[in-house]
């Protein structure tokens, strides 16, 4: 994204200091960030702080002598791939909604044809005011986009909706909008992630060693490429990705039902979850008390979700995962054949620096014709990108 430009408008709210983190995060993603501050914003944070982080001149005064011969609000309006107003106060919302352009920021917003996103932040009562809500609705009807405020304790001491959304969520949404590949627009992608659990008694269960990182990375990649994404996740410490239909489950049976409810309506299905293959034959409704000797438990096979989908599929592209400790390619190819898959992603779980809980993976992608593509160690997001590239090439 090194050629992408975000024009960040900072207005006069207490949350203005959080915009420094927005600049820092976007710059680390090679985004060219140009900052426009209202005069009120400079009462909270200095322009020098933004200039130091963005490595670009910060504009405040509309009538300041330009550093080069260009009309600055037109220049920035044309350069922007996206404009982000954060924090966006009731004042700037009201001005734009009513066509007032009396400073550099409001003038640039009026002049740009790039998408404009307002990240709202204000007092709860102001946010709920009918005039403000009417202005927001008016701008939405004009095609402007909004990141709603979060709830919590505000700087004024009130508790309610009005806090600027978390910086990482704002930046994730902006980076998603800027993502260059949009080849999944109009497609519905269903993804499973994480482990499932098989209860033994009210306090004990067996599970698989999965963090969910691979499935969540696949979901984000599909979302950023324009797909309508449903992510069905077993227990995981990861936060639900924004802009995704998120369904949390625990057991094999819960995941099976959730997947079946979405399967027929999906174009691409990626089963990256580490589903528990066995469950206790006899679940104890009471905690099993510790005795002097050992404990013998009998387990039986649970639903084979992937095989069931392979038998049901019609036009769907079905992708499975194979986590193996030996005979990686042979075992993965056999699984692809038995379960009627279009692709299988095979990874070696014995590798120390990739796989479970790691941010990295080293995999092979095998298709139904037997073609195999090996991927060297890369981030799980990069693996997801390679997977969808392959699917789109051969679709």
Q: CA distances (Å), 156 to each of 11, 72, 109, 159, in order?
A: 17, 36, 29, 9
Please tell me whether residue 242 adopts helix, strand or coil conformation.
Answer: coil
How far apart, in whole angstroms, are the C-alpha atoms of residue 190 and residue 258? 10
Is 257 labelled as part of a ligand binding site?
no
What is the b/e burial string over 90-127, where b = at least 16 CB atoms within 10 angstroms of the residue's CB? Answer: bbbbbbbbeeebebbbbbbbebbebbbbbbbbbbbeeb
H runs (alpha helix) in 225-286: 252-263
Please tell me whether residue 201 adopts helix, strand or coil conformation.
Answer: strand
DSSP, res 85: E
Is 287 labelled as part of a ligand binding site?
yes
CB atoms within 10 A of CB 290: 6
What is the C-alpha radius of gyration for the chain, rounded to an integer number of angstroms?
Answer: 25
5 assigned to active site: no
Is 388 labelled as part of a ligand binding site?
no
Evaluate whether 60 touches 104 at the Cβ level (below 8 Å).
yes
Please tell me whether residue 41 adopts helix, strand or coil conformation.
Answer: helix
Is 130 labelled as part of a ligand binding site?
no
Evaluate whether 224 touches 381 at the Cβ level (below 8 Å).
no
Catalytic residue among 48, 71, 74, 156: 156
Is 289 labelled as part of a ligand binding site?
no
Q: Which residues are annotated as a binding site?
A: 277, 287, 321, 335, 339
Q: Which residues are annotated as a binding site for CTP?
A: 277, 287, 321, 335, 339
Catalytic residues: 156
């Amino acid at each position: 994204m090194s050629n992408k430009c975000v024009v960040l408008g900072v207005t006069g709210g207490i949350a203005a200091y959080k915009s420094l983190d927005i600049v820092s995060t976007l710059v680390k993603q090679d985004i060219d960030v140009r900052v426009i501050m209202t005069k009120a914003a400079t009462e909270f944070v200095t322009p020098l702080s933004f200039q130091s982080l963005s490595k670009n001149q910060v504009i405040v005064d509309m009538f300041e002598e330009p550093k080069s011969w260009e009309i600055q609000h037109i220049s920035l309006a044309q350069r922007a791939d996206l404009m982000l107003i954060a924090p966006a106060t009731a004042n700037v919302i009201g001005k734009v909604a009513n066509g007032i352009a009396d400073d550099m920021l409001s003038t640039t917003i009026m002049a740009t044809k790039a998408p404009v996103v307002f990240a709202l932040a204000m007092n709860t009562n102001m946010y709920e005011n009918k005039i403000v809500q009417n202005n927001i609705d008016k701008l939405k009807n004009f095609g402007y986009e909004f990141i709603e405020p979060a709830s919590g304790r505000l700087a004024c001491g009130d508790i309610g909706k009005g806090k600027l959304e978390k910086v990482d969520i704002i930046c994730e949404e902006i980076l998603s909008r800027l993502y260059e590949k949009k080849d999944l627009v109009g497609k519905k992608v269903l993804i499973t992630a994480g482990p499932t659990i098989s209860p033994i008694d009210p306090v004990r269960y067996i599970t698989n060693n999965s963090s969910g990182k691979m499935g969540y990375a696949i979901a984000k990649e599909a979302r950023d490429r324009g797909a309508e994404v449903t992510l069905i996740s077993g227990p995981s410490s990861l936060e639900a990705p924004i802009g995704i239909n998120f369904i949390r489950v625990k057991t094999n049976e819960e995941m099976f039902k959730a997947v079946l409810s979405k399967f027929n309506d999906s174009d691409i299905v990626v089963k990256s979850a580490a589903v528990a293959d066995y469950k206790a034959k006899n679940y104890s409704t009471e905690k099993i008390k510790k005795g002097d000797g050992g404990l013998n438990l009998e387990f039986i096979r649970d639903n084979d979700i992937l095989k069931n989908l392979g038998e049901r599929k019609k036009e769907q592209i079905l992708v499975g995962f194979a986590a193996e400790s030996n005979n990686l390619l042979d075992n993965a190819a056999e699984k692809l054949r038995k379960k009627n898959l279009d692709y299988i992603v095979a990874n070696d779980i014995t590798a120390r620096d990739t796989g479970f809980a790691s941010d990295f993976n080293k995999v092979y992608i095998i298709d139904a014709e037997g073609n195999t593509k090996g991927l060297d160690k890369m981030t799980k997001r990069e693996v997801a990108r390679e997977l969808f590239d392959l699917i789109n090439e051969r679709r």
